[in-house]
A and B are shown apart, each in its own frame.
Chain A
Amino acid sequence: MVLVYKYKKIENRPINEKTKTPLIPITIRGNISIDTTGIPDSGADVTAIPLGMAEAIGLDLSAKKEKCVGVGGWVDSIPSSMYIRLGNEHENYTFLIPVKVILDKYEFPILLGRQGFFNQFVVSFDESEEKVTLKKKNKSPKLKHQL
């Protein structure tokens, strides 16, 4: 079974183009659950979440700060973990994944990184068709947990 998601398109009138972003519907849980979207980011070692969202769902923020590096340079982060669920009416998957809570003013969409996410699926991008496909890997563990 595969999960297929279309890109989100936003009109960009000044240059007559559209901004297109692959956004996957996910449910995330700390102390509470929310539905949101994540951008699959093959360049990210681990999933990143902005501080405000981490606080809103009650992630554990007690760990020692660490430095992370991205295209914008070094930034402070707190390592944590959260449950993530995705799927549809026919199949859905829940995983406990490591996350970096990014301590920066810019509140970016959740970036779904390789550790804990990409190793669960074969992830394919089709830019011309504007869709991203996730095919579950059979050998990765499936965790049952109510979100």
Chain B
Amino acid sequence: MKSYNFFMSSNLEKYVGKWVAIDNDKIIAYGDNVKKVIEEAQQKIPKKRIFVSKVPEKTTMIF
């Protein structure tokens, strides 16, 4: 929940539309490809569970 709380409370405007991986209140990987972001984060913190989420787009979402 710590990484989720950081994700929810932080200004992530520069990462809009990107996938971000977070550990210890820091963004440790980001990009457009979620698989690559997860793999990069796993290399940086191999023994920990990754938190990764997509920063919502500014455009209107209709799912």
Q: What residues of chain A have their CB less than 8 Å away from a CB belonging to chain B?
A: 6, 8, 10-12, 19, 21, 23, 25, 27, 33-37, 39, 41, 43-44, 50, 52-53, 55-56, 70-71, 88, 107-109, 111
For this complex, 30 residue pairs linking A to B, each with C-beta atoms less than 8 Å apart, are: A8-B7, A11-B11, A19-B56, A23-B8, A23-B56, A27-B49, A33-B49, A34-B38, A34-B49, A34-B51, A34-B52, A35-B3, A35-B4, A35-B50, A35-B51, A36-B51, A36-B52, A36-B53, A41-B63, A50-B34, A52-B33, A53-B34, A56-B38, A107-B19, A107-B54, A108-B54, A108-B63, A109-B53, A109-B56, A111-B63
* B49 adjacent to A35 (CB under 8 Å): yes
Q: Check A10/B63 contact, CB under 8 A, given A36-B52, A53-B38.
A: no
| Cross-chain contact of A25 among B4, B55, B56 (Cβ < 8 A) | B4
| Nearest-Cβ distance from residue B12 to partner chain A, whole angstroms | 7
Residue in B closest to A11 when the chains form the complex, CB atoms: B13
- In Å, the complex CA distance between A36 and B3 comes to 9
- In Å, the complex CA distance between A8 and B51 comes to 16
* B35 adjacent to A19 (CB under 8 Å): no
Report B1-17 residues with CB < 8 Å from chain A CB.
Answer: 1, 3-4, 7-8, 11-13, 16
